[in-house]
Amino acid sequence: MLDIKPTDVRRWQNDLTSYRDEDGKPYAETYLKSIHNQLTAIFNYAVKYYGLKENPCHKAGSMGKKNADEMQFWTKDEFLKFIEAIKNRPSAYAVFMTLYYTGIREGELLALTPADIDLEKSTLRINKSYHREKGKDVITTPKTPKSNRVITIPEVLKTCLKEYMAKMYGIQPDHRLFPHTKSYLYHELEYGCKASGVKKIRIHDIRHSHASLLVEMGFSPLLIAERLGHERVQTTMETYSHLYPNKQIEVARQLDGITAS
């Protein structure tokens, strides 16, 4: 560590910004910021306990951004326009119905199997995640321990999945329910947005759309955190705090009603 200079850190930063994830996309700015913070913390530890004279990250400067780009999401009306436009594309229809009505991550969606769907109990189980690695399908454990969860699904989604699975001839309980890649999701999203005229958002923003719908319906951050698989309720509050002001106004209005009576 004594030989690492600020110029070395800068070179490392430049290399990281040129890397691509499994879908060929640059690393997110928030991810770059997180990695840089971890390296900085390691050097700070060496300064404090092992006699390192200075932290080279301080001179090299930071990278990435603390906050993600402004969140986008669909309203219920926008989603209904989108889903109507792809109703004749059975697989895509089932995919986006599942994403919107559960708020699961795309990797969690692509790892689902028929065994994960309990139509009698109206539940969907999340216990794995899918990604591509060196051209091969890879199934791993979910993102965090809290990501292992069981989600209750509405009747409209249960009917959709029941009809979808009935058309999948020969599918086994451990087969992938949606045997696609993430690029398929992006392609179908773009098609649906053009066909419906609704604004284009990211696949991950459909997760935000689900959360915003729950906030609007008045559900608590704790319930939303459990449904989304967040490790901490604080994460839910930090991510969706901007959606709560209207609820605060409603609280004040009802308190006024109590006082007046």
Same domain, 153 and 100: yes
Give the C-alpha separation, 90 to 164, whole Å: 7
Give the C-alpha separation, 33 to 17, whole Å: 11
Is residue 253 assigned to a domain?
no
Q: How large is the angle between the packed helices 221-228 and 233-240, nearest 10 degrees?
A: 100
Same domain, 28 and 80: no
**Residue-wise pLDDT tens digits, 221-236:** 899 999 999 888 887 8
* pLDDT, position 104: 96
**Residue-wise pLDDT tens digits, 173-199:** 999 999 999 999 999 999 999 999 999
| Number of domain units in the chain | 2
Is residue 252 assigned to a domain?
no
**Residue-wise pLDDT tens digits, 135-175:** 888 899 887 788 899 999 999 999 999 999 999 988 999 99
**Alpha-helical runs (H) found in the chain:** 6-18, 29-49, 56-60, 76-85, 90-102, 106-110, 155-166, 182-196, 203-216, 221-228, 233-240, 245-260
| Residue 17 or residue 104, greater confidence | 104
The overall average pLDDT reported for the chain is: 87
Same domain, 51 and 129: no
Q: Which of 11-15, 56-60, 106-110, 140-144 has the lowest mean pLDDT?
A: 140-144
**Residue-wise pLDDT tens digits, 33-49:** 888 888 999 999 999 89
| Residue 63 or residue 89, greater confidence | 89
- What's the CATH code of the domain at 204? 1.10.443.10
Is residue 249 assigned to a domain?
no
Same domain, 51 and 138: no
- Domain that residue 179 falls in: 76-243
Is residue 205 assigned to a domain?
yes
Same domain, 86 and 48: no
Confidence of residue 245 (pLDDT cuts 50, 70, 90): low
Task: Answer yes or no: is pLDDT of 29 > 70.
Answer: yes
Structure tokens at 261: 């009576």
Same domain, 54 and 102: no
Confidence of residue 131 (pLDDT cuts 50, 70, 90): confident
Confidence of residue 21 (pLDDT cuts 50, 70, 90): low
Is residue 69 assigned to a domain?
no
* pLDDT, position 234: 80
| Residue 97 or residue 146, greater confidence | 97
Same domain, 31 and 113: no
Same domain, 122 and 34: no
Please state, in angstroms and as integers, the Cα–Cα distance from residue 39 to each residue in 10, 45, 87, 114, following that order.
12, 10, 48, 42
Active site residues: 105, 143, 204, 207, 230, 240
Same domain, 119 and 204: yes
CA atoms within 13 A on the CB side of 77: 1
Same domain, 104 and 54: no
Task: Answer yes or no: is pLDDT of 22 > 60.
Answer: no
Same domain, 55 and 80: no
